[in-house]
Amino acid sequence: MTLVLACLATLLALPYILAALGSAVRKRQLGRIDNHNPRQQAAQLDSFGQRIYAAQQNAWEAIILFAGTLLLAHLAGLNFQLIQIPALLFLAARLVHPVVYVYGLATLRSMVMGLAWASCIYIVVQAFRLLAT
């Protein structure tokens, strides 16, 4: 369980790391960080800066998917040792995702997200298989 929770903890840190990078880009591109209207300021960024912002938003969405998957696995009584590999695959995919997002590699980004989704689907299937027995 510890490894799976470490994956979750790492994923929880990722949007904050991306926010810090996004703030640095806003400061560099626009001269300052507008903390009163950060979303409006993000819209003024060039495509590179906007992709960092979008990657941050996507990272939040991915946490919901993974946390919900883990909650379902826990409620089903699934042994978390059985899902360490898919959890690590999800984490690896989500660490690669912002890199390919920021550099505009859309096809690779979709493939990486597909791997993350497949990892969660595998965990959910294992949970339902356990419930069916």
- The mean pLDDT value for 55-59 works out to 96
Q: Domain containing 127 — which CATH number?
A: 1.20.120.550
Q: What range does the domain containing 48 cover?
A: 2-132
User: Would you place residue 100 in the very low, low, confident or very high pLDDT band (cuts 50, 70, 90)?
Assistant: very high
pTM, entire model: 0.92
Average pLDDT over residues 116-123: 98
Give CA separation, 22 vs 49, 62, 123, in Å: 7, 18, 32
The count of domains in the chain is: 1
CB 123 within 8 A of CB 68: no
The percentage of the chain sitting over the pLDDT mark of 70, rounded to a whole number, equals 100
